[in-house]
Amino acid sequence: MKRIAEVAAQAGIAEEHLELYGKYKGKLAPSLWEELKDRPNGRLVLVTAVNPTPAGEGKTLTTIGLSQALNACGVKTVAALREPSLGPCLGMKGGATGGGRAQIVPADEINLHFTGDIHAVTSAHNLLAAMIDNHLFQGNALGLDPQRIVWKRVMDMNDRSLRSIVTGLGDGNGPVRESGFQITTASEIMAVLCLCSNLADLRERLGRMLVGYDRDGRPVTAEKLGAVDAMTALLKEAVKPNLVQTLEGTPVIVHGGPFANIAHGCSSVIGTRYALKLGDVVVTEAGFGADLGAEKFMDIKCRQAGLAPSAAVLVVTVKSLKYNGGAGKEELYAPNRPALLAGLSNLERHVENLGKFGVPVLVALNHFEGDHPAEVEEVLAACARLGVPAALSRVWAEGGAGGQELAAALMKLLDEGKPAAFAPLYEDELDIPAKITKIVTEIYRGSSVAFSPAAKRSLAMIERLGLNKLQVCMAKTPYSFSDQPRLLGAPEGFTVQVRDITLSLGAGFAVVITGSIVTMPGLPAKPAAEAVHVDENGRIAGLS
């Protein structure tokens, strides 16, 4: 590992703009922006994937490995990634810093507290929650309806027993009411942090967040609770992007990590903007598959921030295609040509969809040990038939050297392919139901949308509030194009059931809830925490 000051210097960042957090992590000061802002932007490349499967596709891995490979062949590249959340690290998923020879480091510190950004979001969120309950306790001057408070509490932990709780029990502890905890990454504040342009914009957005309704049904925003300035103060360091490096010394901005269902699932706008000034190419990623992650990246993040991606890399694995083609979770290692061919339908549709945003696509076939050469060839041949460039990536085993073919294909696409003509999928002027319908029919390929009575009530209220032109953030199962997790491949003709629509007014979107979305994960029978060890010198094992 190089000292982060050295990584920064190589990226052209003067020491005065770097705030160190130990020797290997740093935050980029706002003063740096003043120096960078007039430079031209580099080219933005989104790494996305087919629908996720139990075998894992390797989106973060590919983002890291591709940035290493690009740098290795002389293209000045910066990666922009999301911060891992502690809950999943210690729960089901383990670390989120890549793997093999395509990792960001120091992995353990990034996976644990990192520079404290997520803790700051937790504090700001729970300060507002405490202010709300205290407001009720102290007389409720705003006339808040205790039954219609939508602001919950958050914790960066997988803890199912906090999903639904009753608070305020006991003598003198304030009104008793039902509430619950979400994981911190599901906090609207995380989405706000990732979409804001600067501290002033952050403050404005925090003030707009909806906390509940008064007894007359009027929305009450965070601004009214008197804590928005204190919340902004709590977030003043968190809003600064973090700089780390890959195992090969590539600079990586790791900043923010909102949920990819009830939020938009992308790293911060501020971090991406810095990266675009520092790199000729910026490789970034979005949560889940392209149906959710890429759509929100384009329609929410790029739209709000005025960003225009130059290309998309669609990560696929032999195993993910077989799974999407009907092979069982335990059968993915066995050769299975029929499943592979059937699963290609999933890849094909994602490729088509990305084209609808005017963004050229490159398929990255992420190679796993044990992949059968014939199946690898099959996938590459299928891509050729579809007319989409594709390359094999071996970055897990070989780091940047294993991504040369992918990097070369990307540069060819960027330099010689048809230039991107980015446009979001839907126009701002459409009403929320029309926006939903457009996503469902053009991206998911369902035939229709059905709104539950609760969703209809919410839509009527949103219309009454004059908010029916909001952007939409789809909260849907990631496992299928449809809202039914087991409908794999490329389903058609289904109806998407909208259960409810909630407002994230600070983030600037309406959250469209289909199916049951869990915003507080639980721990499995063998939590990942049980495998974590630390020796007396502080060296951690078992985390990433």
Number of shown-chain residues binding its own copies (CB under 8 A): 76
Instruction: Say if CB 367 and CB 379 are below 8 A apart.
Output: no
**Which region among 92-100, 166-174, 410-418, 472-480 touches its own copies (by CB under 8 A)?**
166-174
Instruction: Say if CB 389 and CB 412 are below 8 A apart.
Output: yes
Measured CA to CA, the distance from residue 35 to residue 29 in angstroms comes to: 11
Q: How far apart are CB 272 and its own copies at their closest, in Å?
A: 21
| Contact with its own copies (CB under 8 A) among 73, 166, 450, 460 | 166
CB burial readout 215-250, b (16+ within 10 A) else e: eeeebbbbebbebbeebbebbeebbbbbbbbbbbbb
Amino acid at 205: R
DSSP 368-430: -TT--HHHHHHHHHHHHHHT--EEEE-HHHHGGGGGHHHHHHHHHHHHHSPPP----SS-TTS
DSSP 431-479: -HHHHHHHIIIIII--SEEEE-HHHHHHHHHHHHTT-TT-EEEEE--SS
Tell me whether residue 88 is annotated as binding. no
Q: How far apart are CB 136 and its own copies at their closest, in Å?
A: 8
Instruction: Say if CB 289 and CB 312 are below 8 A apart.
Output: no
> In the range 191-230, which residues lie near its own copies by CB under 8 A?
198-200, 203, 226-227, 229-230
Q: How far apart are CB 118 and its own copies at their closest, in Å?
A: 9
390: left (phi over 0), alpha (psi -120 to 50) or beta: beta
Which residue number, 105 or 300, has a Cβ lying nearer to its own copies? 105
Q: How far apart are CB 529 and its own copies at their closest, in Å?
A: 4
Answer yes or no whether residue 412 interacts with its own copies by CB under 8 A: no
Q: How far apart are CB 91 and its own copies at their closest, in Å?
A: 8
Site track for its own copies across 15-44, x = CB under 8 A: ----xxxxx---x--x--------------
Instruction: Say if CB 364 and CB 328 are below 8 A apart.
Output: no
Is the Cα dihedral 403, 71, 264, 305 positive or negative? negative
> In the range 81-100, which residues lie near its own copies by CB under 8 A?
86, 90
Q: How far apart are CB 145 and its own copies at their closest, in Å?
A: 16
Tell me whether residue 53 is annotated as binding. yes
Number of neighbours of residue 49 by Cβ within 10 angstroms: 31
Q: What token pair was written down for 375?
A: 């199946």
| Contact with its own copies (CB under 8 A) among 162, 455, 503, 513 | 162
Tell me whether residue 58 is annotated as binding. yes
**Which region among 66-74, 132-140, 315-323, 503-511 touches its own copies (by CB under 8 A)?**
132-140
| Contact with its own copies (CB under 8 A) among 13, 102, 155, 414 | 155
Which residue number, 146 or 489, has a Cβ lying nearer to its own copies? 146
Site track for its own copies across 504-543, x = CB under 8 A: ------------------xx-x-x-xx-xxx-xxx-x--x
Number of neighbours of residue 187 by Cβ within 10 angstroms: 30
| Contact with its own copies (CB under 8 A) among 34, 134, 374, 428 | 134
Q: How far apart are CB 197 and its own copies at their closest, in Å?
A: 11
| Contact with its own copies (CB under 8 A) among 10, 41, 140, 167 | 167
Answer yes or no whether residue 137 interacts with its own copies by CB under 8 A: yes
Answer yes or no whether residue 158 interacts with its own copies by CB under 8 A: yes
Amino acid at 360: P
**Which region among 126-134, 188-196, 321-329, 469-477 touches its own copies (by CB under 8 A)?**
126-134
Tell me whether residue 57 is annotated as binding. yes
Tell me whether residue 55 is annotated as binding. yes
Is the Cα dihedral 477, 47, 14, 304 positive or negative? negative
| Contact with its own copies (CB under 8 A) among 173, 447, 448, 495 | 173
Backbone φ and ψ for 275, nearest 5 degrees, come out as -60, -40
Answer yes or no whether residue 116 interacts with its own copies by CB under 8 A: yes
Q: Which residues make up each annotated binding site for ATP?
A: 53-60
